[in-house]
Amino acid sequence: MFGMNRSRSKPARYGLLSLLRGGFNGQRHWTPILNEPETPDRHYDVVIIGGGGHGLATAHYLAANHGITRVCVIERGWIGGGNTGRNTTVIRSNYFFPESAALYDLSLRLYEGLSRALEYNIMFSQRGMWMLAHDRHGMEMLHRSASAMLLNGVDAELHDGAGVRGRIPGLNPAPRFPIVGGLLQPRGGTARHDAVAWAYARAASRAGVHVLQNTEVTGLAQAGGRVVGVKTSRGDLSCDRVVAAVAGHSSVLANMAGLRLPIQSFALQAFVSEPVKPCLDTVLLSPATGIYLSQSDKGEIVLGAGLDLFISYAQRGSLPMMEQAAAGAIELFPQFSRLRFLRQWAGICDVVHDSSPILDESELAGLHFNCGWGTGGFKAIPAGGWLTAHHVATGEAHAIARPFGFSRFPTGAMIDEAAASGIAH
Amino acid sequence: MLEINCPWCGPRPEAEFRCGGEIPIIRPTPDCTDREWAAYLHERTNPKGMHRERWLHVLGCGMWIAAIRSTINHHITRTGPLAAPHDEASS
Amino acid sequence: MTSLRLDAGGSMIDRARPLQFRWGRTRLAGLAGDTLASALMANGESVFARSFKYHRPRGLLAAGLEEPNAIVQWQEGRLTSPNLKATTLELHDGLIAAPVNAWPSPQFDLLAANGWIKRFIPAAFYYKTFIWPHWHLFEPAIRRAAGLGLAPVHPDPDSYAQHVDQVDCLVVGAGLAGLQEAASLARQGKKVILAESDPWPGGAIFGPAHDTERAQANRLAAELSACPNVRVLLRTTVLALQDDGLVTMLERLTDHLPVAQRQGPRHRLWKLRARDLVLATGAHERPLVFDGNDRPGVMLASAAGQLLERQAVSPGRRLVLAANNDRAWDAALALAMAGLGVAGIMDARTAADPARVAVATVLGIRMEFETVPWRARGSRHITAVETARIIAGGAARPTGTAIACDTLLMSGGYSPVVHLHGQAGGQLVWHDGVQAFLPVPGALPCRMVGAAAGDGLGHVRPVWHISADPRRPSAKAFVDFQNDVTAADVALARSESFRAVEHLKRYTTLGMATDQGKTSNINGLAIMGGLAGLSPDTVGTTRFRPPYEPAPIGAFAGHRVGQLLRPVRRLPAHAAHASLGARFEEYGLWERPSCYPKAGETEADAVFREAAAVRAGVGLFDASPLGKIEVKGPDAANFLDRIYVGRVSTLRPGGCRYGLILNEHGIILDDGIVARIADDHFLVGTTSSNARIVHQHLEEWLQCEWPQLLVAIADVTQQWAVMNVAGPNARRLLEGLACDIDLDGAAFAHLGHREGHVEGVPCRMQRVSYTGELSFELAVPSRFALALHARLLACGADLGIVPFGIEAMMVLRTEKGFLHLGSDTDGTTFPDDVGFGAPVRLRKDDFIGRRSCLMPEAMRPDRRQLVGLQSVDGTLLPIGGHVLGKGQDRQSQGWVTSSVNSPALGRAVALAMVCAGRSRHGEEVVVWNRGGTQRARIVSPVAFDPKGERMHG
Ligand SMILES: Cc1cc2nc3c(=O)[nH]c(=O)nc-3n(C[C@H](O)[C@H](O)[C@H](O)COP(=O)(O)OP(=O)(O)OC[C@H]3O[C@@H](n4cnc5c(N)ncnc54)[C@H](O)[C@@H]3O)c2cc1C
Ligand SMILES: [Zn+2]
């Protein structure tokens, strides 16, 4: 039986009953969530490189939407250990251009049903996402964005300074950069990042997809102008198609195919405070300070700032960014000064000039890329997986994915959100 | 915070600099194809390893300098004055 | 009530200085030299907190910043800080602290009910439930239960200093190893900093067996404090070791003082580079993992040893030691010699250090080998410990005996503090003798010495968890105390595929608490390794992420708070505007007058009046922030030809020209006036926000692409103040000044540039107009800004001169359809989009961005183009409103970019970017603003004086 798990007992269902049952058996009935073969098969229909959210979601939708289960996800480290497990988990679809709105709102809609669809609580907390405006010009841009969102069919509320304050208790009453208004997307929010990766991995595994952890792809096999397999640290595999969903490592992977990508890898840092009782009930982005923050379900204040300024593959933070994040946090909430930073870290983002993703088959036939998400691809995981699976399975880009192909570079048809709306990703 | 050895000013903190990205990038002549132009604008080596790049000592002497830096551990192994792109490419 | 203060001993305390403090609602007394933890222990308190998830009562585990349990809310009101560790807080008079996560008190806590349902909520249970009907229903309650202390609600009254420094050597940790190292470096004449987290040097020396070490440490500490080339920083924790050896450390300056005595900054954040970096950071003792190991009264042996040594506090009167190494014996022996009852020592090994065994024998202490604790009895506090024997395969068999005790000291070995080494990317290797990860000396800029390098940690027998079946770790044996992760949770993670350490951490939250797993990580990964049959080496550690110890956000912000977050930039003539009643606002980088409202006027009134006055007479506008960049040299003209969309080399000296600067992507970067002062000398004018950006743009192209060109560039924006006199009476006004520039229209036509003197002051004058009126811009050295401003007002008084602000300027330029960069353009705008396609097409030679303007996207005929919009009913159109076709289609065709009420035209005028707009003049469209609609007609962007006659006057 192909792709079926050979050694596993029946996978455990999730739910309250199962937990209650576990209470009487020492919680010993739980089963592995991953379908990890001792030795991989020699051939797969699709090999997915990268066990982050996008790779795992692609695997799931290949199985769930297209019935393709001879699929293997190959992960260098542990699944979800890349940016998916390092990000600040903001989910939103407050985009300006219709192309982006279609993509990110598909994602948001999928997120809204994801816990139930995957039988895994990803804790999608729709506590709203705010973009602040600090001056007249900022407010004009929010007007432009708010109407764009509404025309794109996305929820949006525009509030003046008093409205913002009324809805976000604790905001600095006398900030250096005045808060003259804010754009709220009520459906925005945060989710548990690890859970998203694990939920997709579990669902894909249940459908028979193989997951190889601790396995690095070191090369690609080509024949007749097509990719026909991958070389890995655990041996070679042949396959019909390859999906590269390796985020910051996309250039490294492209290099294996002799390609150069319009991508540069930059570290993006994140910071959390020690956990405290609930004190911030939404997600807030302040353009003047370049920071955004939210409170996690564990109680930590989670902070993000801008990209590091030089290319890097070192997943680590630095002092200057921490200082910037600290100053930004205190500007918005002076009372957070006495909270303490608990941890800082970084992930490596795949940054494209227009900060929009690349979802396309490459010049090397059979090699697909799902990359270029930069600093904002967590929110796009369901859509990225859905659309990549569609392209791989049908051989054609989904209409929503089409504007995000490689061809936009030689034509110049960028989808540059930040440039048009001032809202960075 | 890196420490960058400006050939004109000596070792100075990263905060005084701005990174300008990969060198050399050869600017095609205007009669190039759209693809060539797009490649010039967007495609980068983006290596995991040693990277030749330029930095501006913006809060210092104001000079652009060349550096070789590891993108794996950030350590800069060499800095020097910036050469013209074509010279840089052939060096 | 078992713990107590002994009558003698205590190297740190001053028995003559009692201190009062408050714990929750209880008033207690301690001594100078106490920590909050030792003072509470001395008062017999043993329950310090409740755990995070199950709300189990918890006592003290450790003596330092590795403490997971004794988390407190420190002080009240404006000074409150959550989640501090009682072990690191020095007692001072009037200290106030309260336990966190316990309501109403740690003794009696309502959420302790979570403990009863513990069996149903193993690690990560929340992923498996709360899915139906919806997570949103459960989330608020879960969130309320999470979090430890309370975030302050008041702004922080304290300030935080930052300090940048360089030394020859930094020694981290003032234990014996660190003191020795610092002393030897100091004797070589090096400039040394010795940083120590504790308020005292000496580290973890305790017990009578270490008299020589103690004496040596005291001697060295005294020597160092007298050394002029050494700075000993106590209360200073090294937080991070990052790029190129940058050390971040936090020095706590005032927290240990009574509130009234605190002066100056609360903390100082050091940013230090040291040529030589020595880490003497010691080791953290590990708990043993057995049932009930989290009961109050069960603590680390070293913690008891240190409490005894420093504060003469004993955690109990009848103690038992359970260990797997020699070092731990010292604590029990020290307590026994201090007269406390030690009811037994059990050691997992087959034998122990004979010298220690001999002392124990003399003291009459019962010793059992190959014995481990099986279970701690008691509920609020331990009452006895049941013992077990280790048999083949690592299983434990209960012996059936129990030793009555009020305190169990445990030691499961030591983990060298390798965090900083790890942060800097250092490698670790597992050492079987000491059963710990040791640093691999390598290319890092640091050396490790003492216990941090594994010295003196002896031989440890690993017992990672104690249970009858090693494959079934117990759900009552805790690994991570703060996050309530049990040994069974580790097994659960493994059985569900979460074998990788990072997965273990994330799935169970092991090591994610505020102690960052200092006492739990190694136990956790070793248990995981044991289940998988792997050595800890193969399992590996999680990444060491800074900071080593949590540090206040305020310390990282330093001075960058309030107004200093970004100092406000004011105009040279700020005072003059203020005295005219200007309303100031920040536009980009500068604080500028938006308008000058008179009594009773609204902003709209003032703007309307000012704009009308300029058209009718003359107005005065402060344009000082406009960027001014001098470009000089034999190749200056050639260089600027490569920068501007239009040619610059055809400009004659004394003339100026409007031009666009693109980036290489063909996008408009800036616009402004470029003037030719002489053949080889140009003045590049930029918008107010972009002076620096354009300057860097010019330098970058010059230095990096065309270094052969002989050009020098200087940004002189702030050297010159600029006053703009605009309106039909502008020339008449200037004629009233002492001026050696011929102002006559024939001699000095529109777009002329002149240099001369006004009122005896050097002046660069340009006839440029952003208002559409006759207009002169007078640039004088900034120090003359106020004088010139005053003279202009005085001379213009007869002409009814009106000072006008940015908003009136926006009205005037919108009437004229003049671009405002950033409003009418954005990061997607090509020159053709705003009507400058011709200069691009006309030029055959190259300039920056030209090639990008020839890409298919830039040439698409249906791109958004700048047009005027006129509402059908004459009312104001909303900026940001979208342009839709008249049909049902709700596809945006563009948006309104500028919109004002025009006094000159008596109606509203607007600019917009609209798809194929230039070919649609006359067409009616709908402006859609968040649901509201207005009808409007596409028109020419130039609504007023389309022929431009007025500015040529
Ligand atoms: C600090 C930070 C904050 C962020 N905040 C947000 C946010 O708030 N909202 C948001 O939407 N997005 C955010 N992002 C971006 C988001 O995290 C990413 O865009 C998204 O997670 C990318 O998912 P992925 O699956 O493409 O990549 P990843 O999760 O990085 O997965 C790629 C995987 O590929 C593996 N891999 C690489 N090379 C190989 C190889 N040769 N062989 C095998 N495996 C390989 C890696 O180990 C990795 O696990 C943030 C990112 C960071 C770093
Ligand atoms: Zn320099």
- Once rounded to an integer, what is the mean pLDDT over residues A205-209? 98
Residue B10 at interface with chain C, using a CB cutoff of 8 Å: no
Closest Cβ–Cβ partner in C245, C703, C852 for B82: C703
Asked whether the domain spanning C296-391+401-411 has the same topology as the one spanning C158-283+414-457, the reply is yes
Q: How far is the CA of C637 from the centre of ligand 2 (A)?
A: 27
Q: What is the pLDDT of residue C305?
A: 96
Name which of B36, B64, B88 to mutate to probe chain C: the one with the most chain C Cβ atoms within 10 A of its Cβ: B64
Q: Which among A273, A270, A125, A292 has a CA at the least distance from the CA of C152? A: A273
- Once rounded to an integer, what is the mean pLDDT over residues A95-113? 97
Which is the closest atom of ligand 1 to the Cα of A347?
53
Residue B31, pLDDT above cutoff 90: yes
> A158 is written with which tokens?
């525009």
Do C348 and C390 contact (CB within 8 A), yes or no?
Answer: yes
Task: Enter the CATH code of domain C296-391+401-411.
Answer: 3.50.50.60
Residue A248, pLDDT above cutoff 80: yes
> C913 is written with which tokens?
């970017």
Do C238 and C317 contact (CB within 8 A), yes or no?
Answer: no
Contact A329 C553 (CB under 8 A): yes
Residue A6, pLDDT above cutoff 60: no
Give pLDDT < 50 ranges for chain C: none
Per CB-CB distance under 8 Å, the chain A contacts of C856 are: 411-413
Does the model's pTM come out above 0.90?
Answer: yes
d(CA C768, CA C785) in angstroms, rounded, equals 19
Q: Evaluate whether the domain defined by B3-26+35-88 bears CATH number 3.65.10.10.
A: no
Q: How far, in Å, are C60, C155, C199, C778 from residue C65 at the CA level?
A: 12, 26, 12, 64
> C229 is written with which tokens?
């080339």
Q: Output C777 or B84, whichever has higher pLDDT.
A: C777
The DSSP secondary structure of A284-304, one letter per residue, reads: EEETTTTEEEEE-TTS-EEEE
> C268 is written with which tokens?
């100082």
Per CB-CB distance under 8 Å, the chain C contacts of B64 are: 699-700, 703-704
Residue A301's region, left for phi above 0, alpha for psi from -120 to 50, else beta, is beta
Could you name the CATH architecture of C569-855? 2-Layer Sandwich (3.30)
The domain spans of chain A are 124-187+265-351
What count of residues does chain A have? 425
pLDDT band at A4 (very low <50, low <70, confident <90, very high): very low
Per CB-CB distance under 8 Å, the chain B contacts of C664 are: 41
CA distance B87 to chain A (A): 23
Q: Which among C626, C554, C601, C615 has a CA at the least distance from the CA of C159? A: C554
State the fold for domain C4-114: Ubiquitin-like (UB roll) (3.10.20)
Count A/C contacts: CB-CB distance under 8 Å. 323
Q: How far, in Å, are A318, C296, C714 from residue C315 at the CA level?
A: 41, 10, 71
E strands within C806-952? 864-871, 882-884, 894-902, 907-915, 924-929, 932-939
CA distance A258 to chain B (A): 11
Q: What is the pLDDT of residue A406?
A: 98
Closest Cβ–Cβ partner in A144, A299, A419 for C148: A299
Task: Enter the CATH code of domain C158-283+414-457.
Answer: 3.50.50.60
Q: What is the pLDDT of residue A3?
A: 36
Residue C562's region, left for phi above 0, alpha for psi from -120 to 50, else beta, is left
- Residue whose token pair is 């952003």: C770
**SS3 state at A172:** coil
**SS3 state at C375:** strand
d(CA C352, CA C346) in angstroms, rounded, equals 10
CA distance A355 to chain C (A): 13
Residue C846 at interface with chain B, using a CB cutoff of 8 Å: yes
Residue C687's region, left for phi above 0, alpha for psi from -120 to 50, else beta, is beta
Residue A117 at interface with chain C, using a CB cutoff of 8 Å: no
Q: How far is the CA of A359 from the centre of ligand 1 (A)?
A: 15
State the fold for domain C860-953: Elongation Factor Tu (Ef-tu); domain 3 (2.40.30)
Q: What is the pLDDT of residue A183?
A: 98
Q: Evaluate whether the domain defined by A124-187+265-351 bears CATH number 3.30.9.10.
A: yes
A50 Cβ inside 6 Å of ligand 1 = yes
> C857 is written with which tokens?
């996207």
Which residues on adjacent β-strands are paired with residue C31? C18
- Burial annotation C368-401 (CB, 10 A radius, 16+ → b, else e): beebbbbbbbbeebbebbbbbbbeeebbbeeeee
Q: What is the pLDDT of residue A7?
A: 44
Q: How far, in Å, are B27, C551, C704, C707, C897 from residue B84 at the CA level?
A: 11, 46, 6, 6, 41
Per CB-CB distance under 8 Å, the chain C contacts of B65 are: none
Count B/C contacts: CB-CB distance under 8 Å. 57
**Nearby residues of A21 by Cβ (< 8 Å), 6 or more positions away:** A29
What count of residues does chain B have? 91
ipTM over cut 0.90: yes
The domain spans of chain C are 4-114, 158-283+414-457, 296-391+401-411, 569-855, 860-953
d(CA C72, CA C50) in angstroms, rounded, equals 10
A385 Cβ inside 6 Å of ligand 1 = no
Q: Which among C262, C259, C253, C215 has a CA at the least distance from the CA of C234? A: C253
% of chain B residues with pLDDT over 90: 89
Backbone φ, ψ for residue B78 (5° rounding) = -155, 145
CA distance B79 to chain A (A): 15
- Cis ω on the peptide bond leading into residue C567 (within 30° of 0)? no
- Residue whose token pair is 């300008």: B20
